[in-house]
Structure 1
Protein backbone atom coordinates (compact mmCIF):
# COMPACT_ATOMS: atom_id res chain seq x y z
CA UNK A 1 0.00 0.00 0.00
CA UNK A 2 1.18 3.50 -0.71
CA UNK A 3 0.75 6.41 1.73
CA UNK A 4 -2.50 7.59 0.13
CA UNK A 5 -4.03 4.12 0.50
CA UNK A 6 -3.04 4.03 4.17
CA UNK A 7 -4.52 7.48 4.67
CA UNK A 8 -7.74 6.39 2.98
CA UNK A 9 -7.87 3.27 5.18
CA UNK A 10 -7.35 5.40 8.29
CA UNK A 11 -10.27 7.65 7.29
CA UNK A 12 -12.48 4.61 6.53
CA UNK A 13 -11.69 3.00 9.87
CA UNK A 14 -12.43 6.28 11.66
CA UNK A 15 -15.66 6.79 9.73
CA UNK A 16 -16.92 3.26 10.30
CA UNK A 17 -15.98 3.25 13.99
CA UNK A 18 -17.84 6.50 14.53
CA UNK A 19 -20.89 5.70 12.41
CA UNK A 20 -21.38 1.95 12.71
CA UNK A 21 -19.80 1.31 16.09
CA UNK A 22 -20.21 4.37 18.30
CA UNK A 23 -23.49 5.77 16.93
CA UNK A 24 -25.54 2.59 17.57
CA UNK A 25 -24.13 2.34 21.10
CA UNK A 26 -24.94 5.99 21.74
CA UNK A 27 -28.49 5.66 20.42
CA UNK A 28 -29.19 2.49 22.41
CA UNK A 29 -27.79 4.02 25.59
CA UNK A 30 -29.89 7.18 25.30
CA UNK A 31 -33.15 5.69 24.07
CA UNK A 32 -33.63 3.70 27.29
CA UNK A 33 -33.56 6.89 29.37
CA UNK A 34 -36.40 9.30 30.07
CA UNK A 35 -35.97 13.08 30.08
CA UNK A 36 -35.30 13.23 33.82
CA UNK A 37 -32.52 10.66 33.57
CA UNK A 38 -31.01 12.35 30.52
CA UNK A 39 -30.79 15.81 32.07
CA UNK A 40 -30.16 15.06 35.74
CA UNK A 41 -26.70 15.33 37.27
CA UNK A 42 -25.57 12.66 39.70
CA UNK A 43 -23.51 15.34 41.46
CA UNK A 44 -23.06 19.08 41.05
CA UNK A 45 -19.62 18.71 39.48
CA UNK A 46 -20.76 16.06 36.96
CA UNK A 47 -22.36 16.61 33.58
CA UNK A 48 -25.72 15.18 32.60
CA UNK A 49 -25.93 12.43 29.99
CA UNK A 50 -27.66 14.94 27.71
CA UNK A 51 -24.87 17.47 28.20
CA UNK A 52 -22.26 14.86 27.34
CA UNK A 53 -24.23 13.81 24.25
CA UNK A 54 -24.41 17.42 23.05
CA UNK A 55 -20.70 17.84 23.79
CA UNK A 56 -19.98 14.87 21.51
CA UNK A 57 -22.28 16.28 18.83
CA UNK A 58 -20.53 19.66 18.91
CA UNK A 59 -17.15 17.99 18.49
CA UNK A 60 -18.43 15.83 15.60
CA UNK A 61 -20.05 18.89 13.99
CA UNK A 62 -16.83 20.89 14.18
CA UNK A 63 -14.78 18.10 12.64
CA UNK A 64 -17.38 17.71 9.89
CA UNK A 65 -17.03 21.40 9.10
CA UNK A 66 -13.24 21.21 9.26
CA UNK A 67 -13.07 18.33 6.78
CA UNK A 68 -15.76 19.65 4.45
CA UNK A 69 -14.27 23.12 4.03
CA UNK A 70 -10.74 23.25 2.66
CA UNK A 71 -8.45 25.67 4.48
CA UNK A 72 -10.89 25.99 7.37
CA UNK A 73 -9.53 28.59 9.79
CA UNK A 74 -10.84 26.84 12.89
CA UNK A 75 -13.04 27.91 15.75
CA UNK A 76 -12.38 30.78 18.11
CA UNK A 77 -13.30 28.87 21.24
CA UNK A 78 -12.81 25.32 22.42
CA UNK A 79 -15.53 23.03 23.72
CA UNK A 80 -13.85 21.85 26.93
CA UNK A 81 -16.68 23.30 29.01
CA UNK A 82 -19.49 22.85 26.48
CA UNK A 83 -21.96 20.52 28.23
CA UNK A 84 -25.26 22.34 27.73
CA UNK A 85 -28.51 21.54 29.45
CA UNK A 86 -31.08 22.13 26.70
CA UNK A 87 -33.80 19.92 28.19
CA UNK A 88 -34.54 18.36 24.81
CA UNK A 89 -36.89 15.40 24.79
CA UNK A 90 -35.22 12.02 24.27
CA UNK A 91 -36.57 12.02 20.71
CA UNK A 92 -35.20 15.51 19.99
CA UNK A 93 -31.82 14.60 21.45
CA UNK A 94 -31.63 11.41 19.38
CA UNK A 95 -32.64 13.35 16.26
CA UNK A 96 -29.77 15.77 16.90
CA UNK A 97 -27.38 12.84 17.33
CA UNK A 98 -28.53 11.12 14.14
CA UNK A 99 -28.38 14.29 12.05
CA UNK A 100 -24.91 15.14 13.37
CA UNK A 101 -23.51 11.66 12.72
CA UNK A 102 -25.22 11.45 9.31
CA UNK A 103 -23.49 14.68 8.31
CA UNK A 104 -20.15 13.37 9.56
CA UNK A 105 -20.63 10.15 7.61
CA UNK A 106 -21.45 12.11 4.46
CA UNK A 107 -18.39 14.34 4.86
CA UNK A 108 -16.14 11.31 5.36
CA UNK A 109 -17.61 9.61 2.26
CA UNK A 110 -16.78 12.67 0.16
CA UNK A 111 -13.31 12.85 1.69
CA UNK A 112 -12.66 9.20 0.85
CA UNK A 113 -13.87 9.71 -2.73
CA UNK A 114 -11.56 12.70 -3.22
CA UNK A 115 -8.73 11.80 -0.86
CA UNK A 116 -6.13 14.57 -0.68
CA UNK A 117 -2.47 13.75 -0.17
CA UNK A 118 -2.71 14.69 3.49
CA UNK A 119 -5.30 15.52 6.12
CA UNK A 120 -5.24 16.56 9.76
CA UNK A 121 -5.05 13.00 11.07
CA UNK A 122 -4.51 14.24 14.61
CA UNK A 123 -7.92 15.93 14.68
CA UNK A 124 -9.69 12.89 13.27
CA UNK A 125 -7.93 10.53 15.65
CA UNK A 126 -8.72 12.83 18.57
CA UNK A 127 -12.39 12.88 17.57
CA UNK A 128 -12.59 9.07 17.56
CA UNK A 129 -10.72 8.78 20.86
CA UNK A 130 -12.66 11.61 22.50
CA UNK A 131 -16.01 10.20 21.34
CA UNK A 132 -15.07 6.75 22.66
CA UNK A 133 -14.17 8.24 26.04
CA UNK A 134 -17.45 10.12 26.43
CA UNK A 135 -19.47 7.25 24.99
CA UNK A 136 -18.06 5.07 27.77
CA UNK A 137 -19.35 7.59 30.31
CA UNK A 138 -22.81 7.56 28.72
CA UNK A 139 -23.01 3.76 28.50
CA UNK A 140 -21.87 3.41 32.11
CA UNK A 141 -24.39 5.95 33.42
CA UNK A 142 -27.20 4.47 31.35
CA UNK A 143 -26.43 0.98 32.63
CA UNK A 144 -26.28 2.26 36.21
CA UNK A 145 -29.58 4.14 35.91
CA UNK A 146 -31.54 1.41 34.12
CA UNK A 147 -29.74 -1.70 35.40
CA UNK A 148 -29.78 -2.79 31.73
CA UNK A 149 -26.92 -4.64 30.08
CA UNK A 150 -26.58 -3.81 26.40
CA UNK A 151 -24.39 -6.75 25.31
CA UNK A 152 -23.06 -4.70 22.40
CA UNK A 153 -20.35 -7.19 21.43
CA UNK A 154 -22.68 -10.16 21.57
CA UNK A 155 -25.23 -8.24 19.49
CA UNK A 156 -22.84 -7.53 16.63
CA UNK A 157 -21.19 -4.23 17.57
CA UNK A 158 -17.68 -5.64 17.78
CA UNK A 159 -14.26 -5.42 16.13
CA UNK A 160 -14.79 -8.46 13.92
CA UNK A 161 -17.91 -6.96 12.35
CA UNK A 162 -16.28 -3.55 12.10
CA UNK A 163 -13.38 -5.05 10.13
CA UNK A 164 -15.83 -6.83 7.84
CA UNK A 165 -17.67 -3.55 7.15
CA UNK A 166 -14.42 -1.85 6.21
CA UNK A 167 -13.36 -4.70 3.91
CA UNK A 168 -16.73 -4.58 2.10
CA UNK A 169 -16.09 -1.02 0.96
Structure 2
Protein backbone atom coordinates (compact mmCIF):
# COMPACT_ATOMS: atom_id res chain seq x y z
CA UNK A 1 0.00 0.00 0.00
CA UNK A 2 1.44 3.37 -0.94
CA UNK A 3 0.44 6.81 0.10
CA UNK A 4 0.66 9.80 -2.17
CA UNK A 5 1.35 13.24 -0.86
CA UNK A 6 1.15 16.53 -2.62
CA UNK A 7 4.50 17.82 -3.79
CA UNK A 8 3.36 21.40 -3.26
CA UNK A 9 2.52 22.49 0.23
CA UNK A 10 1.22 25.78 1.47
CA UNK A 11 4.20 27.95 2.37
CA UNK A 12 2.65 31.08 3.79
CA UNK A 13 1.38 34.34 2.38
CA UNK A 14 0.82 35.28 -1.25
CA UNK A 15 3.63 37.39 -2.70
CA UNK A 16 1.43 40.44 -3.23
CA UNK A 17 0.38 40.41 0.42
CA UNK A 18 3.95 39.94 1.64
CA UNK A 19 5.52 42.69 -0.48
CA UNK A 20 2.52 45.03 -0.28
CA UNK A 21 2.16 44.46 3.44
CA UNK A 22 5.84 45.20 4.01
CA UNK A 23 5.44 48.47 2.10
CA UNK A 24 2.23 49.41 3.90
CA UNK A 25 3.51 48.56 7.39
CA UNK A 26 6.77 50.45 6.94
CA UNK A 27 6.72 53.24 4.36
CA UNK A 28 3.03 54.09 4.46
CA UNK A 29 2.79 53.70 8.25
CA UNK A 30 5.85 55.89 8.76
CA UNK A 31 4.33 58.61 6.54
CA UNK A 32 1.05 58.39 8.48
CA UNK A 33 2.93 58.82 11.77
CA UNK A 34 4.52 62.00 10.36
CA UNK A 35 1.10 63.26 9.23
CA UNK A 36 -0.19 62.57 12.75
CA UNK A 37 2.70 64.64 14.09
CA UNK A 38 1.57 67.56 11.93
CA UNK A 39 -2.12 67.18 12.78
CA UNK A 40 -1.98 66.41 16.50
CA UNK A 41 0.96 68.51 17.78
CA UNK A 42 1.63 72.21 17.97
CA UNK A 43 5.23 72.00 16.76
CA UNK A 44 6.41 73.58 13.54
CA UNK A 45 6.09 70.94 10.76
CA UNK A 46 8.73 72.76 8.67
CA UNK A 47 11.41 72.61 11.37
CA UNK A 48 14.74 71.05 10.38
CA UNK A 49 14.36 67.25 10.26
CA UNK A 50 10.67 67.75 10.99
CA UNK A 51 7.69 65.85 9.63
CA UNK A 52 7.58 67.59 6.26
CA UNK A 53 11.20 66.74 5.45
CA UNK A 54 10.66 63.22 6.80
CA UNK A 55 7.59 62.66 4.61
CA UNK A 56 9.57 63.65 1.53
CA UNK A 57 12.58 61.45 2.33
CA UNK A 58 10.49 58.45 3.41
CA UNK A 59 8.35 58.72 0.26
CA UNK A 60 11.30 59.00 -2.10
CA UNK A 61 13.50 56.29 -0.59
CA UNK A 62 10.63 53.92 0.22
CA UNK A 63 9.08 54.38 -3.22
CA UNK A 64 12.42 53.74 -4.93
CA UNK A 65 12.84 50.60 -2.83
CA UNK A 66 9.44 49.32 -3.96
CA UNK A 67 10.16 50.16 -7.61
CA UNK A 68 13.57 48.46 -7.45
CA UNK A 69 12.14 45.36 -5.78
CA UNK A 70 9.37 45.02 -8.37
CA UNK A 71 11.68 45.83 -11.29
CA UNK A 72 13.94 42.96 -10.25
CA UNK A 73 11.33 40.45 -9.05
CA UNK A 74 8.62 40.66 -11.71
CA UNK A 75 10.78 39.71 -14.73
CA UNK A 76 12.59 36.94 -12.83
CA UNK A 77 9.69 35.20 -11.08
CA UNK A 78 8.77 32.73 -13.83
CA UNK A 79 12.13 31.01 -14.36
CA UNK A 80 13.47 29.11 -11.30
CA UNK A 81 17.11 29.67 -12.25
CA UNK A 82 16.59 33.40 -12.65
CA UNK A 83 14.47 33.50 -9.47
CA UNK A 84 17.42 32.03 -7.59
CA UNK A 85 19.67 34.88 -8.75
CA UNK A 86 16.98 37.46 -7.99
CA UNK A 87 16.54 36.14 -4.44
CA UNK A 88 20.27 36.49 -3.80
CA UNK A 89 20.40 39.99 -5.29
CA UNK A 90 17.31 41.23 -3.43
CA UNK A 91 18.42 39.64 -0.15
CA UNK A 92 21.79 41.35 -0.51
CA UNK A 93 20.12 44.68 -1.27
CA UNK A 94 17.91 44.27 1.81
CA UNK A 95 21.02 43.90 3.97
CA UNK A 96 22.91 46.74 2.28
CA UNK A 97 19.95 49.11 2.59
CA UNK A 98 19.53 48.60 6.36
CA UNK A 99 20.98 52.07 7.14
CA UNK A 100 17.81 53.55 5.60
CA UNK A 101 15.49 51.24 7.60
CA UNK A 102 13.19 54.19 8.41
CA UNK A 103 12.12 54.33 4.75
CA UNK A 104 10.85 50.76 4.59
CA UNK A 105 13.05 49.96 1.58
CA UNK A 106 14.88 47.06 3.30
CA UNK A 107 11.55 45.47 4.28
CA UNK A 108 10.23 45.58 0.71
CA UNK A 109 13.50 44.30 -0.75
CA UNK A 110 13.60 41.51 1.84
CA UNK A 111 9.99 40.54 1.19
CA UNK A 112 10.70 40.36 -2.55
CA UNK A 113 13.75 38.17 -1.83
CA UNK A 114 11.53 35.82 0.17
CA UNK A 115 9.09 35.76 -2.75
CA UNK A 116 11.75 34.78 -5.29
CA UNK A 117 13.23 32.23 -2.88
CA UNK A 118 9.93 30.36 -2.99
CA UNK A 119 8.68 31.23 0.49
CA UNK A 120 5.26 32.41 -0.72
CA UNK A 121 2.21 30.45 -1.83
CA UNK A 122 2.22 31.82 -5.38
CA UNK A 123 5.95 32.22 -5.95
CA UNK A 124 8.41 30.06 -7.84
CA UNK A 125 9.28 26.62 -6.47
CA UNK A 126 11.26 26.60 -3.25
CA UNK A 127 14.89 27.42 -4.01
CA UNK A 128 17.82 25.49 -2.55
CA UNK A 129 21.06 26.73 -1.04
CA UNK A 130 22.10 30.36 -1.02
CA UNK A 131 18.89 31.58 -2.65
CA UNK A 132 16.79 30.05 0.13
CA UNK A 133 19.17 31.48 2.73
CA UNK A 134 18.91 34.98 1.28
CA UNK A 135 15.13 34.59 1.09
CA UNK A 136 15.01 33.72 4.79
CA UNK A 137 17.35 36.59 5.62
CA UNK A 138 15.16 38.91 3.54
CA UNK A 139 12.05 37.76 5.38
CA UNK A 140 13.75 38.32 8.75
CA UNK A 141 14.88 41.80 7.65
CA UNK A 142 11.31 42.60 6.57
CA UNK A 143 9.88 41.52 9.93
CA UNK A 144 12.53 43.39 11.92
CA UNK A 145 12.05 46.62 9.95
CA UNK A 146 8.26 46.43 10.41
CA UNK A 147 8.75 45.97 14.15
CA UNK A 148 11.33 48.78 14.32
CA UNK A 149 9.10 51.25 12.47
CA UNK A 150 5.95 50.46 14.44
CA UNK A 151 7.55 50.13 17.88
CA UNK A 152 9.85 53.12 17.33
CA UNK A 153 7.03 55.42 16.29
CA UNK A 154 4.61 54.22 18.96
CA UNK A 155 7.22 54.55 21.71
CA UNK A 156 8.11 58.08 20.60
CA UNK A 157 4.45 59.13 20.75
CA UNK A 158 3.57 57.30 23.96
CA UNK A 159 6.82 57.87 25.82
Q: TM-score normalised to the size of structure 1?
A: 0.42
Larger Rg belongs to:
2
- Indicate the structure with greater helix content: 2
